[in-house]
Every structure is written in C-alpha cells, then in structure tokens.
Structure 1
Amino acid sequence: MSRYEYKWLDPARREFRLLHVLPENDQAPTDEAIEIVDLTSPVRCTVTHASLDNAPEYNALSYTWGDPGKTVTIIVDGAEFEATKNLEAGLRHLRRKDQIVTLWVDALCINQKDIPEKNVQLAQMREIYVQAKSVVAWLGPSDDNSEMAMKWIQEYGGRSYELNIGGVGGPRLISLLDGLDAPPDKPFDEKEMLFAADLREQLSPANSWHADLITSLLRMFKRAYWSRIWIVQELASASDLIFVCGKATASDNALYDALRLLRNFAQYQNLKWNAMVKETHFKRPTGVSLMSINTGGPINMLKFRRAPHAAPLIHIMRTFRFFSSTDPRDKVFALLGISRDSEILGLRADYNKTCEQVYTDAARRLIHAGYMDILGLVQFPKNIPGLQSWVPDLSRTGYRAPLQQRSLERKGAPGATRLEPKFFASAMKEKILLRRENTMGPEVTLTLSVVRVGVIKHVGLHWNHEKGVGQWLHELYRLSSLVQNTPENATHRAQAIWRVAVADQEIRQGVRKPRLADEKVHTAYETFKDTDLKDVNEKALGDVGLSYYCEWLQSVAKGRRPLLTEDGHLGIGPCEAEPGDFVFVLLGSDLPFVMRRESETPEKIRIVGESYLHGVMDGEIMERNPVIEHIELC
C-alpha cells in the first residue's frame, strides 16, 4: 500500500484540512445516539479541504504527540500514514460505531514537512480552534487507576462548580472547613457545609482509600499533556471543551474546580498540621501527599482560558516557561496566537529561522517594548548554541524562581500586567524605550543604560536542599559578619538577613505578592537572635507561624547563593556569581543584575543573572545622582 501524499492548500482561500474518522461499521450515519467503541480494526480516515470562511461543523483534537519513534499505521484516503501511538489511541477511542467523526488534528491536517504550508497553517491555528464546535482534550488511554481520578474530578469538581466554591478561591474553602470545627458567626449554607465535610473525608490521610486516590490524581496530572506548550493555545481558544481519558470524561468546569480544591485543601492541611504539631506533637502522615500533585501548570492553563482579555506575550512566556515542546522554537511560536501584542511586537511563526534567531528576535523585541524582566529568565548552562548571554534559552524546562512574578491587573486596562512584589531599583516606574536601531538589528550589539552598584567581594555556598534552611541563613549571617558593624546598626543588619533570605517577599496571597511584613521579620529575629542559625529548620519556623516564610525561602534559594559587595551590600544572586563580578541596576528595571566582563573582549559584558541586594531595591542608589554608563552586552 502506498504512503499518504498531501494535496496543496490554497492560502488565498484560507484552506485547511479536515480528517474524517470512518465508523467501524460500514453503514450510513444515523441520528441515533452512538456508543464510543474501542475495537482492534485499523483506524481508517479520509481527508477533505475546507475554508475558514465557510467551514463545515467539526471538532478539534487537543493531545500530545508522544514518542515520535513509536508509531502505528492508520489508513488515510486508502494510503498508509504513520501516526504516533498516542494519536492512534485517541482516534480509536473517539471513533464511533456507525457515524463519521470529523476532526482537525495538527499532525495529520498539516504537512509537517512543508515549511511554507506549516507557517501559514500555524498562523491560523487559533482560529481553527475557535471555530471548532468543541475541543476534545485527549489525555491518553486509561492507566494508573485513571478511572478513579476522573470520577473524583467530575464528582467533586462538579459539585464545587455548582456551589461556586472553587470560583472564589482558597479563603472560601478554608472558612468552610474551619466551620466544621467551630460554629461560624454567620451560618453557612447547608449544601456547602455538607460538601466541605465530604471533601475533608475524601482527602483525609486517615481513610483507607487516601493513598490510592492521591496516587491516581498525582499520576493524572503528571501526564505529558499538562506540560506541553501547544496545549496552552488549544485550551485558551476552545469555545467548548471536554476532557477524555480512556472512556472517562470530565467537563472543563469540573476539572478547573477540582484542581483548585486540591491546591487549596493542601494549603489548609499545611496550616492545620502546623497547628497540630505545635499543640499536640502530631506527626504528618508519610507516603503520597496532596502537596506533590502538580496543580500549578494545569490551573494556569485553564485560568488563561477564562481570562476576559488576552495577556501580553511576556506574561504568557514567563507563566509557561516550564513547559516543553518537540521543536524548541515552539516555546515562542505556540504562544503568539493567544498573546495580545505579538503583532505589535512584530513576531510571527517562521520555521525558516533557526532557534537562535527565534529566541534572539523575541528577546530583542520584548526589551525594546520595555519588558526588561525577560532578562530574569537568563540562566546557565544554555542548551541552544550561539545564544548571547542576554538571550534566555527558552528551551529549558527548569528555572530558578524569578525574583518577581508578573500577574494580571484586576482593575487596570484590559490585559494589563504588573510585576510583584514592587521593587524600584532604578527608581523609574515608566518604561525605558530603547532606540529601535539599537535593539532590533540581528547583528547590532545590545547596549543598555546602567548604574554601577559595586563589585562582588564575597559569595556564600550554593543552596543545598539537604543542608536546607539552616545553612542558607548561616551563610547570610557569615557574610553579614564580614562587614564592620557598629552597635547601632548590628540589630538592623541581623534583621536584614531575614529579608535577604527570601528576597524580601512572601508567598503569593490571592491576587497579591507582598514584600515581607515587618511583624514576620520581628518574629524571626526575636525568636532566633540567640540561636545558631545553622540549627534553624522547617519545624522551628513552623512552630512560630513562619511555614509560608520557609516555603518561599526554599523556592527563592534554589539555584542561588548569598553574596556581599565590596561596599557592604548583602544579597543573593545566581549560583554562577563569583567574586569580581559587577552588580548593575539597569535603567527601566526593578532589579539589579550580576554581570561579568568578557575576557576576550573586555569592553563587552555578559549577563549572569538577576539579584536581590538589600538597600538597593527601592532606588537608594539613584538618590545619589550616580553616573549613568552605557554597556555593550555580548
């Protein structure tokens, strides 16, 4: 049998292909309800062309390709087509007994070997998903007790959605759960209280089914589907969405609420366990934990779907930086269709460009637009050869936690975002627009305006998870002690250690990401001022109500090390920072950056990474009327 060959699509008519999955039984379609079947006969399909201007009714498939080396032969227009194993399983599960199923499927409906066609088709991909009657999110075949997970998601997520518990965030759920133990001032709705009681029983570690349920949910949200970059656009564009795993289904709303329940209940348990440890020496249960379930990525995917306005590219790029793609260029291309400013930035998918060109062009255009925080994604080593130091390697799926988070403005202009917590290292709240000729030309050196803070004189040990919080605090104390203290400022510097350890910020609280509260600094200092900081651990912090402080400390410390500048500024920076590196404040940036002179071309400077320096973050350096330098980055 011959191999399937594509026929040309007419871009002028905005043509695209549709895949028709033929029924198992060779009978005319009927209007009767048809069961989904899973038989062993080969999947057979036909392909037709349609125009987006007058397209027939169809559904779109959202799925992960899976291992390209594991394929199964399907029949397309009487010819053989090698589909990945996961795609073939999805088509088989969606095939009807007596009815043709019409789908748009990227791997089949786009000629992946035709670059000009691929560029055109991907540019209209968002519209393809928008026009689809529904989007079927294929999570994969039934496995790892997925039936239990899907059933729980649909039942408890569905009940939460009906009661509007998940939609109002964690505080509502926590207040309901607290109300089970202490009568509230204002009685809750009876249905809500019943749901809270059922949920607490379902997720209680004391129940026999707890380990099986949590394990099934853990494995469900570990599936590759939840970390693939193209899925973000597919879900955001769907007018109607259903999730399918094997023969089990879950609605979009049920799954979103279920994820929020799992996240918020984990936070509730964490709070309660800390209280119980303090009061009764209660020991946390061992084994699987709600905290280990990956809810962050899936929640963000579905949150973007619900956003009333499209977000800027920088926000989407930072949010989904952990996601992966088969082609590393798709870490940019997959997000252009759902960003509100890709056209303004002048970015479009072009598979004729190398990955180095795609990443460099995106970084240049974002910097030109004033989004200096793209530099916060710079980390080493880089996998893509040829990238300059200031160009983030977006192919990475592991990053340090950025020292600021970009979030949507609830009350601002549509799609507006803000960086939190609020730092003002350059004391300039307005964007610094760089000259276009200085940033846009692919061969032109990037030149930035900066103020020199100083030179790094000492560095501490890298964050070590095994040695934990105590070593991190001790290293900051050790560096701080190298500065000659007067009795007047000794207390101030000792308190500064507690701010520097977490980059002077707390874990996100609803819509806010605040700076570290004075009372928490006071509590930490007074509790441990006579303690060797090496001995401070998670339990000790939890005992005095600083569990969230400890949680954020471990997040911000990973991939970083303490540092001290020659003029006595204590801070933290990337683990690659070394004595002799410079610290600069970039005009238009909220943060200082560690940089290094290029040994071969000393007039040029390499970016090492963003940093936090105590006494610099609120524009103190700028108040001294400093000299503004212009540096060339390489």
Structure 2
Amino acid sequence: MSAQQDLSNTEEQYRALPEKLYTHKPLDFDTEEQRFLILHPCAGDKNAEENVVRCSIEVTPLSKAEPFTAVKNSRGYRLIQEVIDVDGESLLVPVAVERFLRNFRHDHEPVRLWIRHICLVESMGEESSRYWTSPFLDRMYELSTEAVDMHIFNTTLLDMGTIQQAFDSRYIQWQKEWHGTVEITPLPKVYPVRVGQKQSLTDPVDRYQYVPLDPVTDEIRLIVLHPSEDEQARVNLHLAHSPAKSDVGYNAISYTWGERQPRADIVVTGQLFSVTKSLEELLRRVRRKQGELVMWIDAICIDQENDAERNRHLPRMAAVYDTATSVLAWLGDSDEHTSEALGFIPKLQSPMLNLNERWEWNIGQPGEYRPEDIARLCAAAYQFLTKPYFHRVWILQEIAWASSPFAVCGVHEGFSFWQMETAARNIQDLLERDPLLARQISEALPEETTAVPEELEFIRKMSYFRFMVSKGKATFSLLRDTVQGRITGDVPGYLETAIMARDFQATDAHDKIFALWNIAQDKQGLDFTMDYADSVAESYVKFTKAWCKQHMSLDMICAAEGDERSSAFYETAPSWCPDWATPSSASSMVRREKMLTRLQIASDILDGKLYWADGGLSRQDLAEPWFSFSGDELLCTGVIVDQLRGWIGADSDTVKDKFAAFFQAVRGYYETESTSPYGDALQALWAMCHGDVPSTWPVRAVEDGFHEAYINKYYKGDRKTARHIFQYVTDISADESSCVLKTVLRGRTLGFTEKGYMCLLPHWIAREGRQRASIAVLAGCSTPVLLDRSEEDGHYRFVGSVFVQGWMEGEWIVDMMGAESAASFWQSKLGEDNIIRIR
C-alpha cells in the first residue's frame, strides 16, 4: 500500500463506539453562520474520571457572535480518541482536545470557544472550501478576545504533572531486541498538512511548513520514503505523525550532518524542503525500487528552527532510537579503500591477534594473507574505522540505544558495530604492540596522515556506551550473563560519560553535554534543563552546578582546564566550570578516560572515582553542606595544604623521554634534600606515573640488580589496587605499563611542593609561571587542586587538578594534620574561617 493510498483511509477505531454520536448540522452560508463551543463549568476535580467534559454547540451568524476565545493548534492525533458530551450526545475527539477542554473549563462560568477541529467539519464539502482555509482562520483569531495555543497549554499541563500522556493500550508494552531482523510493519496513518499549503508531487511550489506535534499522545514525525527505479529522480517523501508507541516500525538513520554543506531540495508531502546535499544523497541511496521505507531522521523529523521543539525532543531521543526496529548508520560514500577494508574487517574478529613462529601476525586463515599485505590492509581498515562519522557526539546515544545497528557505506553492505569495534580494538592493539607495523601502516596511509591508536577509540567508546546502556545485553558473547550483574542501574554516570566523550565533535557546542543526556544513567535528582536559548557558557555553568549539588561532590570542577585554548570561554565563565567544547589537553585525575585493548565483555567498568584525597568524604559524614554557589562564585570548605615550589623544564615528545627526565629530576632533587616523605622516591615516582600510590608497586628482587632502562622490572604492580590496569590477568606486561604511562602522563609535568612532595602538574602551569600556586584539598573533591589567588579581591582562580604522591588516599589528613578520621577533620573545618572562594 502506498502512502498516497493510505492517506485516504477511513479512520480506524480500536474502542467501542458510543451508542449515540453527535452529528453536526449544516451551516447557513448566506448568513455566515458559525458554530461555537460552550464549555460547561466544573467545580470539582477537573481530571476526575466522573467529571466528563460537557458542552453545547451554539450556531449563530458570525456578525452576532458573542465574545469568544479562539483555540490555535487544536489538532491532535486522531486515532487515539476520547468522548465528550455535546448537547447530551457523544462526540469523539482526539484525546489531546479532550484533555485541553477538561482543564480549560472554569469552576462556575461557561466558556465560549471557537476550536477549529470541533466547530468545523473538514469533510463537509462547501463548508470545508469556505472555512477550512488560512484566511478564515486568521479572521477568527482576529475576531476573538484572546487566542490560546492548545499544544502549549497541554505541554504545560504535562510538565506540571497535571495530566499524563495517553497511549493506545495495545502498544504500551515494548520488548527491546538488541539484535534481530527487521519485521514488516504497517505504514503510518496520519499525514497532517498546514491549512492553505498547496501540494504537488510533480511540480511543488510551496515550502514545507511543520505541523506541531501532539504532546499528549507523544507524537513523533516519521518519513515515508517513496520508491523509485530511477536513481536520479527527485527524492519524494511524505512526513507522517505517529505516537512513539504504535504498531508502526521504522528505521532510525544515524549520520553526520556536516558543516557548510551545499543544499538541495527534496519533496516533502508535496512541498519543497531544503536538506544538505549529503542527506539528499543518503535518501537516494537507501530508497527502494519497490515499496515505501519508513524512517526517522532528526534533520527532517524535528523542526530545527523551533528551539522549544528541539528542547523537548532532547530527553526523548533515546526512546526514538530505542523503539526503532533497526538503526542504519550512514558512513558516507565509499572510496578506493572501502572494498579492501570491508573485506578485511571480518578477518579481524579473533579475541586477540598473536605472532606466529616467524614473528608474523596471524590474521585470517593460515596463508590467506601475505605478510607484506598486512600493513596495507590494516591501513584500509584504519581509514574506514576512523571516518568522520565516528567522531560526532550525537552518534554516541544513537548507537547506544540502537536496535540491531548496522553500518552502510556507499553501495557496499556494512557490518554490525560489534564487528567493527572488535576490528578497531585489534588494530589498536597492533599499533601499540608493534612499532614496526605501526610505521608501515602509517606509510600506507595518504600523505600527512599517521596511524594514531587513540583515533580507534572513538568507535570503541560507542560500543562501550552501548554495552553499558544495554546492561551487557548488546553482545553475542557466552560471558554476557556474568557481566550483567556488574553493570548497575546508574552506570555510566554523567561525569564519566562527559570525560570519555570530550574529544567527540559537535556542530553546536551545547551538544557536548546535551547529546549525552540519554547515555548518562545517574540523572535522578539532577536539577538541569537543556535549553538552546542559553549561551554555551550558561549551559555549562548550570550543568556543573546541578551535577555538583546532585552528587554532593566537586569532582566535576577538576575537568576545568586553564589551557589557553579556552581563554575566550573563561572571559564569561568562572574558572571552576569545565569548557566541555574544548578537548582536554591533560590526563583526567577524577575519572578513567582510556579504553584498554581488551575484550569489552571482560574489561573493567570505567565508572567511579579513582582517588579520595579528601579521605572519601560522603554526604552522611557531615551535618551540613560543605560547599555552595553564589552566582558564579564557588564557596567551598577546603584547606591550603602546600605551595608549589617548582617543576622540571619543557615537556618531552615521547613517554620514554618524559619519564627519563622525571627519573633524573627526582633522583637529583631528593639527593639534595635533607628529608623526604618517601622511603623510596623512585618507587613513589614509578607508582605516580602509573596513577597509583607507592604500595601498589612494591619492590621485587632482580638478579642483575637495578637498571634504569628496565625500571618496570624493579617494581611489581598489584593488579587489585592498580587504577589504570586490566585486573583479570596475572602479570602486568611492558606493553600495558607503557600504555598506562602514556595515559597518565598526557599533558602532565613533574613538580615539587614546599613540603617536599612530588606531583603531576597540568602542562599549562609551566607556561603561565605560577611558582607560588597553592595546592588545596577541597571537601568533596577526590583530587587535590591548584589555585591561584588574585591580589585584587582575594578570590582564588581554579588552575587545574594535580596528583600529589602521598595525598591521594587522604593520608595527609592523618600524617600532616594529625586527625583521627576524615569526617572528624572536615567537621572541624566547617565554618566561615575555612571557606575558599573560587571564581
């Protein structure tokens, strides 16, 4: 059945009709009669089931009409209906109209309304041609004493909890299928068009104007893409309205919008509609030669010029992808490497690649690939798996909630995301374990391109978030049941998600936070409303305040960086607010950010804080809050524990060189110091560079004695307490150690405090030369922080987070302050004398 045929269907009913239905009587056009609805009062509970909506219809010449209220946007989804009483008879109206009338009626006085979808009958020939027109509607609105927008009124009722959304009871239950085939489902049944808009499938003239969505039935728009055997024919589709919960199945399309792309016109419901050229090409490629295809695409199905609609759609985006029968990820056009990449990716599905006896990588069947071809094939797969699509932040939630996601590139068939993530993990492993192969892969890439292992983490993070959101169900592994119990209801958290997704890209900087809303599972109690009308800085500040208050934690401020790239942001934003639009340039000290090259099903959950420099303070420990916000000022209970004394010179290019410089600096520094807080300063350094405390890396005997080049053999890491190392293998390999060093030392330099402690400082501290920066511990913050005091008003400016070896588990509270416990220490510090003010 075609969409055009479906448009003329009679309305379907799923409920028993009342015995006696109200029938509209014809109007006298000579006297310009018009119907008015007299809404009877209701003094009791307006939403009580027994308080049925009762009204009358009065017919009178328009010239003699008494004052009335006109109702705009009175359309509701017509297949979910309720009964109202009109002059003692039953009239079926959309449930949205019934909810409006029920709550708009007064307690004691009747209300005179003109509401198009009751007072006019579209199917009554001449009445429709005379009155179902844009000029007549405008005239009625002008003649009214006031005009009320029904959709805005109902939306307000929903937000206040006065009414609830209404659904067809047959479709309330939804059984999520994370994998499976797409079923054949009915086409949508409702295709509304604005009054006065002309339609032509062959020669459209008017520009498409959106019809508002019915919030009461949770309407979404769906694309019905018409078939064409001519690939060059203009794209033609109808835009339908359907409740999110219905019998209609659809494919949600995930793709990158792109910036400043050329535009092209398509035909939407017989009218012109402008889209990017890439979207037009996508629609051409996916449409069928026979039969309609039902889809959801955000650029078309959401009115992008309507901020209120965009804001309202943000929290429900997960549901759109969740209830889609499948998600098609469009990766763009293919190139000369696509065929090779798509042929090689299935060969990269083993849990772990290993070297054979000739020190060649075993990929595919024995002898299937010549060793000299491996680098070229890996380069092709690398290019495919690092396409711009995988860098877009909105894609994260689209894939996380997707049913049966698969990727399509040009005319080629694609793969599941599980297959692509496995291939990406294995190529990343090859790049990190084999420097020779890494160089050969880079040489096989286009000029000025280098194979970077971290680039493959984008697609792997997509798969990780999908794994977390599904609670382990989005995998075919036999180990799935064993991991599901470890993934609690509040994983992943919003801070963890924001830190891991910080390098992803967004056209609108708001989306660096907004696009993560449906991934984060710890939003209960988060007092934050996404609003594109706010500036980016306003949104980030509101979000940071809301998260800190919700969790009673200041960990989020440690994502703020004083890097010069954010200088424009901090002209209006306080220093403690992270600039999420700018990728981080230093390692995170508050949450994990690195995807390990291990099977996802067996890897650690990257949630939760790493340290507890404040002693692990919880909201139960203190009788009153230990921080608050006053405008853009953060007032927090804290202690200036130490001062920065100095740091080593310029940053090194490689981890090996950086650590060697650190090693020499530490050995030289503590040789000249009369006292040291460390029994073995090199052990403390090695542990710190792994993001651990000294006890995690105890000394072990080495027959040949100590040698600088093999310091990792001198200290043996404890997997149970290591922060950044995979915990389910017996020994820590040199490759793992190298990856952790690279992660922890990213953007960090070595510093020393006045009291003799070593620390890892953010790299910009050396550039700005803050030799007297204060090192503080704030109540409710899991890492120490650097603060710079203004000489003008005495307030501090947040500089960044810092790892201080010997403080990260709250040792300083006992060792330096002599307190019995963290709770008793911080309780004694509550009060004005210990408030640190940060702007």
Q: Which bracket does the TM-score occupy, shorter chain normalised?
A: 0.7 to 0.9
Q: Which amino acid aligns with 2:296?
A: W
Which of 419, 425, 439 is 2:609 aligned to?
Answer: 419
Q: 1:265-414 counterparts in 2 under 5 A?
A: 265-266=430-431, 269=434, 287-288=443-444, 292=453, 294-307=455-468, 308=471, 309=489, 310-368=491-549, 369-379=551-561, 380-381=563-564, 382=566, 383-384=568-569, 385-406=571-592
Classify 1:490/1:128 alpha carbon distance in 2 versus 1 (closer, same or farther; 3 Å): closer
Which of 499, 505, 526 is 2:706 aligned to?
Answer: 526
CA contact (8 A) 2:613 2:782 kept: yes
**CA–CA separation in structure 1 for the residues paired with 2:392 and 2:695:** 33
CA contact (8 A) 1:111 1:118 kept: yes
1:30 maps to which residue? Answer: none
Q: 1:159-308 counterparts in 2 under 5 A?
A: 160=349, 165-166=350-351, 173=352, 177=354, 181=357, 198=364, 206-207=371-372, 209-248=373-412, 249-266=414-431, 269=434, 287-288=443-444, 292=453, 294-307=455-468, 308=471
Q: Which amino acid aligns with 1:75?
A: V
Q: Considering only CA atoms, is the larger Rg found in Structure 1 or Structure 2?
A: 2
1:450 maps to which residue? Answer: 638
Classify 1:435/1:329 alpha carbon distance in 2 versus 1 (closer, same or farther; 3 Å): farther
**CA–CA separation in structure 1 for the residues paired with 2:519 and 2:688:** 37
Classify 1:477/1:199 alpha carbon distance in 2 versus 1 (closer, same or farther; 3 Å): farther
**CA–CA separation in structure 2 for the residues paired with 1:59 and 1:117:** 21
**CA–CA separation in structure 1 for the residues paired with 2:262 and 2:223:** 21
1:536 maps to which residue? Answer: none
Q: Which amino acid aligns with 1:378?
A: A
Classify 1:110/1:552 alpha carbon distance in 2 versus 1 (closer, same or farther; 3 Å): same
Classify 1:470/1:247 alpha carbon distance in 2 versus 1 (closer, same or farther; 3 Å): same
Deviation at 1:341, TM superposition (A): 2.2
Deviation at 1:584, TM superposition (A): 0.8
Classify 1:78/1:134 alpha carbon distance in 2 versus 1 (closer, same or farther; 3 Å): same
Classify 1:370/1:197 alpha carbon distance in 2 versus 1 (closer, same or farther; 3 Å): same
Identity of aligned residues (%): 23
1:141 maps to which residue? Answer: 333
Which of 227, 232, 238 is 1:40 aligned to?
Answer: 232
Deviation at 1:202, TM superposition (A): 6.8
Q: Which amino acid aligns with 1:527?
A: H
Q: 1:94-173 counterparts in 2 under 5 A?
A: 94-153=286-345, 155-156=346-347, 160=349, 165-166=350-351, 173=352
3-state SS of the aligned residue for 2:608? strand
Q: Which amino acid aligns with 1:464?
A: S
- Greater RCO, 1 or 2 (C-alpha within 8 Å, sep 6+): 1
2:222 maps to which residue? Answer: 18
Classify 1:470/1:522 alpha carbon distance in 2 versus 1 (closer, same or farther; 3 Å): farther
Deviation at 1:444, TM superposition (A): 5.8
Runs of 4+ in 1 over 6 A off after TM superposition: 199-204, 283-286, 432-437, 487-491, 520-525
Q: Does 1:559 align with 2:747?
A: yes
3-state SS of the aligned residue for 1:601? coil
2:810 maps to which residue? Answer: 619
CA contact (8 A) 1:218 1:293 kept: no
2:49 maps to which residue? Answer: none
Q: Which amino acid aligns with 1:562?
A: L
Which of 664, 668, 674 is 1:477 aligned to?
Answer: 664
3-state SS of the aligned residue for 1:336? coil
Deviation at 1:349, TM superposition (A): 2.2
1:601 maps to which residue? Answer: 793
Structure 2: runs of 5 or more not aligned? 1-204, 445-449, 472-488, 712-731, 819-824
Deviation at 1:320, TM superposition (A): 1.0
Deviation at 1:519, TM superposition (A): 4.6
1:52 maps to which residue? Answer: 244
Deviation at 1:42, TM superposition (A): 2.1
Structure 1: runs of 5 or more not aligned? 26-36, 167-172, 183-194, 275-282, 506-513, 532-543
3-state SS of the aligned residue for 2:680? helix
Q: Calculate the aligned-residue CA RMSD, in Å.
A: 3.7
**CA–CA separation in structure 2 for the residues paired with 1:525 and 1:373:** 42
Classify 1:530/1:606 alpha carbon distance in 2 versus 1 (closer, same or farther; 3 Å): same
Classify 1:50/1:471 alpha carbon distance in 2 versus 1 (closer, same or farther; 3 Å): closer
Classify 1:610/1:90 alpha carbon distance in 2 versus 1 (closer, same or farther; 3 Å): same
Classify 1:359/1:125 alpha carbon distance in 2 versus 1 (closer, same or farther; 3 Å): same
Q: Which amino acid aligns with 1:631?
A: I
CA contact (8 A) 1:457 1:580 kept: yes
3-state SS of the aligned residue for 1:41? coil
1:582 maps to which residue? Answer: 774
Q: Which amino acid aligns with 1:417?
A: D
CA contact (8 A) 2:626 2:636 kept: no
